[in-house]
Amino acid sequence: MSAAVSGDGRSRNWAPYLLSGPALLLFIGVVVAPIAMTALLSFQSWDRVKGIGDVLVLAHWREVLSDGYFAEMFLRTLRLSVIVTVLTAVIGAPEAYILHRMTSRWKGVCLLVILGPLLISVVARTLGWALLFGGANGVVNQALIKLGIISAPLPFMFTETGVAIALAHVLMPFMVLAVSASLQKVDPKIEHAAASLGARPATVVFRIVLPQVMPGLLSGAIIVFALAASSFATPAIIGGRRLKVASTLIYDEFLNSLNWPLGAVIAMILLLALVAIVAGSNRIVERRYAEAFS
Amino acid sequence: MSYLRIEQLTKEFGSYRAVEGLTLTIEKGEFVSLLGPSGCGKTTTLQMIAGFVEPSAGSVVLGGKDLLAVPPYKRGLGIVFQSYALFPHMTAAENVAFGLEMAGVGRDERRRRAGDMLELVGLSGFADRFPRRMSGGQQQRVALARALVIRPSILLLDEPLSNLDAKLREGMQVELRQIQRQLGTTTVLVTHDQAEAMALSDRIVVMNKGRAEQVGPPEETYERPASAFVSDFLGRTNTLTAQVDGEGTVRLRGVAIPMAKLAPGPVSLSVRPEKVGFTEAGAGFVNAVVTAKVFQGTHWLYQLETPDGAVVVIRQNDGSGGPAEGASVGLRWAVEHCLVEPERRSAP
Ligand SMILES: Nc1ncnc2c1ncn2[C@@H]1O[C@H](COP(=O)(O)OP(=O)(O)O)[C@@H](O)[C@H]1O
Ligand SMILES: [Mg+2]
């Protein structure tokens, strides 16, 4: 490598490019190229009889952007993702803290319970929710009705609430792991210092620990949001055909209506919106915490 | 009645005794150091006073009140940790004001008192800095200000200076002592640095394996150590093997050392390097040959070989030169400066 370190500025050092070359090629092949092709597809003409044509048109974009049906669907996707993110944060962060305070023997067991959803197929897990709450035959609903707590079955299947709960369950581990990782970096002496200054245990948690794990919580939120907005299996099974979100609508356009260009438009909008939201919130997080952390 | 009374304090981790029957009383305004090697239970003791470790046995009474019945956040003690443990998401001023806020002090008074305290520790220009943007010494001062601003009944310091470099540490020692005198805060310092303990404390508690070996003013523990461990830990010492004969006289290879009668048997005799003087060969308690002589500015350091092992002697550089390398000399010392203990068969 001594030749590469000539340092006169004229001979370029190609080593970094060569070393990252294979990964770069793979990235272009499996990420950039499909996206570029999808982008192109979204402008291609389509006809019920002739299928996809070679003429480039704006018709599909115009249709998606002007039709209230699509706006409602995108809004539902956004609302669901936000609700799921908030749910995982509100439940996952305390979960991570309790896990953090446990003795190591219980920690292992509880970690397994929390990571459990990741180990079971999304389909099996989602069908499990369906069995528990699905209509009047759902186990939980039957039990609650028999106990006289409710008179009609709780609506779960084909409702936003159902999708949100099932998605929150699926994505919870990502939040717990993100918060756990940043909890590990908190010096327990800092909590002791706060207590010695007169802070009660609850005050220590909210004023001292929470602000320190906020970057972890926010990055967990970004992950959960992105995964929720692009999730397919859970909304497909629980939401069914009635409750469409972006990913299930894309699936329908591609495989049922066979209107690929329209599906491509929805896919592109979902992608662009996600990139904008994730990148934007990431920048806000970084700027907010640059002074105290990093 | 003493201000802080610690009685028979014990902490067991499983079957391991980290602190064993520690008894100690501290007067109001006193500066006491817990001194001992790493792992001897100093931090555990401090944590028990602070309330973060529950004692297995014993009592801690502060101003007549049982401290162990009080949760940590109501004890009103100030603590400074070796790792500073500042709140990373708060500025220096916010760190210092936190304890006041917890005590319900109003915003304006909080700001004023935090500012005063930062000024006292020499950080008036740093109020709006985050800990990450401060040096170790500055963070240490913030931690000290944060602990002092609540006017704690006791200030607990756990190796507060050991993360600082030597020069800064000496400066901070002087400052710490000045601040402590000025505020009159009762202080317990944990340290493994004997020079630091001697420089700062009114009294030193020398700890070894969870027990207090000796409690006393720095000079007393240094000059009249209760054990060879204390003597060795509080500075260099020479240890020679001697015998106590049938009449109870301590003899070093037959030469009688005029001190109190003892039970017959082997004993170890320790004497500090600066307490040993030179005489003509044959006229001292023991004969020695100078093997090395090192100039150290204010004093000379001699290494000598005696029939009972190596001995180090420190002589003030009074310009007279002293014996040369290779010279045969006698060694003598005032008997009150030497400590005689029954020989420990199984030396650690
Ligand atoms: N939580 C704990 N569990 C088990 N052993 C401990 C614990 N805390 C401290 N010890 C042990 O107790 C002894 C004394 O520790 P410590 O008080 O920290 O020593 P020092 O501060 O004097 O260096 C050490 O041997 C340490 O390993
Ligand atoms: Mg310690």
The chain B residues in contact with chain A (CB within 8 A) are 50-52, 72-79, 81, 83, 85-90, 98-99, 102-103, 130-133, 143, 146-147, 150
Residues B202, B241, single domain; the answer is no
Which residue among A187, A192, A199 sits closest to B52, beta carbon to beta carbon? A192
Same domain for B78 and B165, yes or no, is: yes
Considering the domain boundaries, does residue B159 fall inside one? yes
| Below-50 pLDDT ranges, chain A | 1-7
Give residue B43 CA to ligand 1 midpoint distance, Å.
Answer: 7
- Rounded to the nearest angstrom, the distance between the alpha carbon of B193 and the centre of ligand 2 is 12
Tokens of A283: 């920048």
Q: Are B65 and B223 contacting, i.e. CB atoms less than 8 angstroms apart?
A: no
Total domains, chain B = 2
Any ligand 1 atom below 6 A from CB of B41: yes
Assign residue B177 the CATH number of its domain.
Answer: 3.40.50.300
Pair (B266, B224) in one structural domain: no
Q: Give the tokens for residue B204.
A: 């030193």
Residue where one domain finishes, among candidates B171, B195, B230:
B230
The proportion of chain B whose per-residue pLDDT surpasses 90, expressed as a percent, equals 69
Question: Domain boundary residue among B230, B250, B265?
Answer: B230
Angle between helices A160-184 and A122-133 (to 10 degrees): 130
**Structural domain includes residue B348:** no
Ligand 1 proximity of B210 Cβ (cutoff 6 Å): no
Rounded to whole angstroms, how far apart are CA atoms A240 and A119? 24
* Average pLDDT score over residue span B162-184: 89
Q: Are B46 and B158 in contact (CB under 8 A)?
A: yes
Q: Can you give the pLDDT at residue A93?
A: 95
Cα–Cα distance list, A61 to A41, A56, A66, A266, B250 (Å) = 11, 11, 8, 9, 106
Report the residue from B73, B77, B88 with minimal CB separation from A212: B88
Nearest to B248 by CA among B262, B269, B258: B262
The whole-number average pLDDT for the span B111-117 is 95
In angstroms, the CA B63 to CA B66 distance is 8
Q: Are residues B201 and B162 in the same domain?
A: yes
Residues B221 and B270 in one domain: no
| Chain A residues inside the 8 Å CB shell of B151 | none
What residues of chain A have any CB closer than 8 angstroms to a CB in chain B? 187, 189-190, 192-201, 203, 207-208, 211-212, 214, 291-294
Same domain membership, residue B272 and residue B253? yes
Residue A117 exposure: Cα atoms within 13 Å on the Cβ side: 19
Domain endpoint, select from B199, B230, B261:
B230
Q: How many residues does chain A have?
A: 294
Q: Provide the pLDDT for residue A237.
A: 87
Q: Is residue B347 part of a domain?
A: no
Q: What is the pLDDT of residues B26-81, one digit of tens each?
A: 999 999 999 999 999 999 999 999 999 999 999 999 999 999 999 999 999 999 99
The CATH number covering residue B271 comes to: 2.40.50.140
Q: Is the CB of B46 under 6 A from ligand 1?
A: no
Which residues on B lie below 8 Å from A291 (Cβ)? Answer: 130, 132-133
pLDDT of residue A1: 39
| pLDDT at residue number A2 | 44
pTM of the model: 0.82
Q: Based on the domain organization, do B195 and B257 belong to the same domain? A: no
The whole-number pLDDT of residue A11 equals 67
Specify if B174 maps to a domain.
yes
Domain identity same for B30 and B175: yes
pLDDT band at B344 (very low <50, low <70, confident <90, very high): low
Domains of chain A: 59-292 (1.10.3720.10)
Q: Do B125 and B259 sit in the same domain of this protein?
A: no
Same domain, B139 and B153: yes
DSSP state of B283: T
Ligand 1 within 6 A of B141 CB? no
CA distance A190 to chain B (A): 5
- A107-124: per-residue pLDDT in tens? 888 888 888 878 888 888
Cβ within 8 Å, pair A197-B83: no
| Ligand 2 is an ion; residues with CB less than 5 A from it | B 43
- For residue A5, the model assigns a pLDDT of 47
The verdict on B120 and B190 lying in the same domain is yes
Residue B167 domain flag? yes
- The H-assigned helical ranges of B121-254 are 136-148, 166-183, 194-200, 218-223, 228-233
Mutate to test the pocket of ligand 1, among B9, B10, B11, B13 (most ligand atoms within 8 A of CB): B13
Q: In this structure, is residue B58 part of a structural domain?
A: yes
The set of residues, in sequence order, having a beta carbon less than 8 Å from that of B72 and lying 6+ positions away, is: A192, A195, A196, B50, B51, B52
Q: Which amino acid is at A63?
A: E
- From the list B155, B114, B121, the residue with the least C-alpha distance to B138 is B121
Is residue A271 within 8 Å of A35, Cβ to Cβ? yes
CA B15 to ligand 2 centroid distance, Å? 20
Both tokens of B244, joined, read: 């106590």
**CA B202, CA A107: separation in Å to the nearest integer?**
46
Domain-embedded: residue B195: yes
Indicate if B243 and B223 belong to the same structural domain. no
Taking only the tens place, the pLDDT of each residue in A16-43 is 888 999 999 999 999 999 999 999 999 9
Can you give the pLDDT at residue B348? 40
A86/A220 Cα distance (integer angstroms): 11
What pLDDT sits at residue A126?
Answer: 81
Inter-chain residue contact A193 with B81, CB threshold 8 Å:
yes
- The dihedral built from the CA positions of residue B124, B125, B127 and B133, taken in this order, carries a sign that is negative
Q: For chain B, what is the mean pLDDT?
A: 91
Look at the block and give the residue holding tokens 């029954």. Answer: B342
**What are the strands of the beta sheet with B65-66, ordered from one edge?**
B16-26, B4-13, B57-62, B65-66
pLDDT band at B321 (very low <50, low <70, confident <90, very high): confident
The reported pLDDT for the residue numbered B255 is: 84
Q: Which of A183, A191, A196 to mutate to test the interface with B (most CBs of B within 10 A)?
A: A196
* Structural domain for B11, as ranges: 4-230
